[in-house]
Amino acid sequence: MYSIAVDIGGTNIKAAVLDDDLNIIEYVKIPTPDNIEVLIVDEVHRLIANYIQQHELTSPFIGISSAGVVDSKHGEIVYTGPTIQNFDGTNFYRALSDLSNHIKMYNDVDAALLGELAFHHYDEENIFCLTLGTGIGGAFYNRDIGLYPGERHRANEIGYLLYRAEDDKTFEKRASTSALKSLMLKHGFEFETEVPKLFELAEEGHTQAKAILNQWAAYVAEGIAQIQIMYDPGLILIGGGISAQGEILLKYIEPKIHDFLPPDYGVARLQTTQTENNAALFGAVSVK
């Protein structure tokens, strides 16, 4: 039996038809509309309706993953800040009710963590997933209780940590991949915002590349120290496109975490995610 998954981001919307083994049968990616002249919820409805018609489905299971603070119980976007305009209050369960009565909705990082866990087993009981991208997102999973959303669905919004008045920046403004690119431009890096090239040159001993990475990695490490103190996870997974750097990424971050913790405090095992681009799509339909 086929399910339909949709992943809504600030830049693109991905949609896919998947079978029960989470194999992608069909896939499409479109630019996220401005949500003023063309509404995101209307585009999502159109994509799903097309798949239902094309594959002759009747009330299929639909999984929605979205950026922002998501009320999974009611299928509603609670808060998105500046990420997506005009999105707060959008209710997907109501908007898609004519297509199916089997719908689940998740925050995108929650969905990505579920997608990772659908394909890879981890021994740890408590897992925190940190995604580094345009912004920074978080998700927390306990083997017994599952995902932890918080009282107002705002748990794990770690990008807002570590605000400092002197530079008017939060954790994500210093430590996201976007922040790394800004550092590269600020320091006049020869290859501008080509992040893979930065890592490549740093590994070759390029002085400027190493300095930029070390500065940025210290910002990431400071946030991870806060995660360690608040959640005490057994495993911290780092996701987002930059996680493709794998052990090289961890090599810059991991030693610096101890600089922001009391002596001998201890820190969780650190690993990059193994599920690549479509983890949130897989996760959105992995639990029915």
Q: State the Cα–Cα distance between residues 239 and 267, nearest whole angstrom.
A: 18
Q: Give the containing element (helix H, strand E) for 104.
A: strand 103-107
Helices (H), 11-162: 40-54, 92-95, 108-119
Q: Which of 12, 11, 9, 25 is nearest to 285 (CA)?
A: 25
pLDDT in tens, the chain (288 residues): 899 999 998 889 999 999 999 999 999 999 999 999 999 999 999 999 999 999 999 999 999 999 999 999 999 999 987 778 999 999 999 999 999 999 999 999 999 999 999 999 999 999 999 999 888 999 999 999 999 988 888 888 899 899 999 989 999 999 999 999 999 999 999 999 999 999 999 999 999 999 999 999 999 999 999 999 999 999 999 998 899 999 999 999 999 999 999 999 999 999 999 997 799 999 999 988
Q: State the Cα–Cα distance between residues 43 and 26, nearest whole angstrom.
A: 17
Domains for the chain: give ranges and CATH numbers.
3-112+278-284 (3.30.420.40), 125-267 (3.30.420.40)
The upper half-sphere exposure of residue 184, i.e. CA atoms within 13 Å in the direction of its Cβ, equals: 23
- In order of 223, 259, 260, 267, the CA distances from 264 in angstroms are 18, 11, 11, 9
